[in-house]
Amino acid sequence: MRVCLLSLLNLLLVSPVTAAERDGLDDVAMPALRDALRASPPLAQAWFRLKAGDAVGARREARALVRLTPRDPDVLHVAGIAAAADGRPLESERLLRRSLRRRPDGWVTLHLVNVLLDLGRDRPAERVLTTAPNDDPQIERARAYLLVARNDLEAARDLLAAAFRSSPSHELSFQLAELLDELADVAGAAEAAERAVTLAPENGRYRRRLLELLGELGAWERLAEAAAAPGADRAGASFARWQLGVAKAKLGQDGDAVTALAGVLEAPGAEPAALAGAAAWLLQLGAYADAEDAARGALSRQPEDPALHHLLAMLLSRQERESEALAHYRRAADGKDDAAWRFDLLVSLCGLQRTDEFGAALDRARRDFPDDPRWDGLQGRCVAP
């Protein structure tokens, strides 16, 4: 089993950016590397490329620095990270091993172990950890990843929990949350995610995961509180408003739910999933006009999604705009073979007395879904030629 919980870049970039940030490097979790980046603008440029998602450019710049200073452990470390991000794990392994030979470092060890596990090489990862010091929390994290790779999730959980108790950090708490979720301990995962948010309130990734876990847990009051808390928009403004609306609806506070869900469309950079989710809930709450706006917002971002066309069609039907709805029922049925959607298309055709098209669509539905009992009932309601 590969380590599915923790990608290399997630290990590097989970630290929050603080309000006091001046040079863009305050969020680097690795102290030695952070100092090296501040001392070397060219190395910092490679790092910023990596953070910006330009792994190719970061690797190119880091390799040039390795040629200039082939024995610098920090340069080798950044080059190894960039190579891994660029999909070159063997090159990354070589560079990280060279960095470790120059200077033992818990973070380099952690990244090397992660690369080896991604390659499915758990025995070499174990050998790296055999000679590593026991008093470094990053080494304990690496040992936990090895246990995860070997599918010993309970032991990994215990190791991460012990590491957190001895050296509390938001990274450890968040990774413990992910592991507990893998173990189906959603309540424990939510508590660990809450600790991570408390320790690093500016980290949007932690906040988003907390909202997801609270929703999975059905802890609606806690979800409403977390989604409305200061800084909740760091999880994604549209996502947080969507989750707040869901929590309010589940708590029976329909007016507040509609307000929150209607606000999803106004959120900067509203996500299609949040818009679609808000539209579906607004439909249930009878706020059809707001639901239509949200559904159209989602469709503007994903115009070929058949599920969104079907959702909009239902909303238009509820508003007695069946002729307009029919166009979207057609798009939905053409985009996905779904008996329920086909049935809705037939009902729309029947209501509009489109008998010719109804007959052809009914024949097609019977061919595609011959065991569905609804077709006979529809033919009795609508006279087909």
Task: Compute mean pLDDT per 10 residues along the chain, 385 residues long, and list them.
Answer: 43 40 76 92 94 94 96 96 96 97 93 95 94 83 92 93 89 94 96 96 96 98 98 97 98 98 95 97 97 97 96 96 96 91 94 91 93 86 61
The H or E element containing residue 253 is none
| Within-domain flag for 143 | no
Range of the domain at 157: 152-217
| Within-domain flag for 145 | no
331 lies in the same domain as 291: no
Q: Are 235 and 267 in contact (CB under 8 A)?
A: no
Q: Which of 255, 276, 303 is the endpoint of a domain?
A: 303
Count the neighbouring beta carbons within 10 Å of the beta carbon of residue 273. 15
| Within-domain flag for 378 | yes
> Over the Cα atoms of the chain, what is R_g?
27
Q: What is the pLDDT of residue 4?
A: 43
15 lies in the same domain as 124: yes
Q: Enumerate residues 6+ apart whose C-beta is below 8 A from 63.
A: 79
Quickly list DSSP for 7-53.
-HHHHHS-SPPPTT-SSS-TT---HHHHHHHHH-HHHHHHHHHHHTT
Q: Is the pTM of this model over 0.75?
A: yes
352 lies in the same domain as 377: yes
Q: What is the pLDDT of residue 377?
A: 84
Q: Which of 303, 337, 365 is the endpoint of a domain?
A: 303
Q: Which of 332, 378, 377, 319 is nearest to 354 (CA)?
A: 378
380 lies in the same domain as 316: yes
Residue with tokens 């309000």: 19
Number of structural domains found in the chain = 4
183 lies in the same domain as 117: no
Residue 70 DSSP symbol: T
Q: What is the pLDDT of residue 22?
A: 64
Q: Are 364 and 339 in contact (CB under 8 A)?
A: no
| Within-domain flag for 260 | yes
Q: Which of 71, 101, 132 is the endpoint of a domain?
A: 132
Q: What is the pLDDT of residue 376?
A: 85
298 lies in the same domain as 308: no
CATH label of the domain that carries residue 363: 1.25.40.10
88 lies in the same domain as 194: no
Calculate the alpha carbon distances from 238 to 153, 209, 264, 277, 282 in Å.
Answer: 34, 14, 5, 10, 15
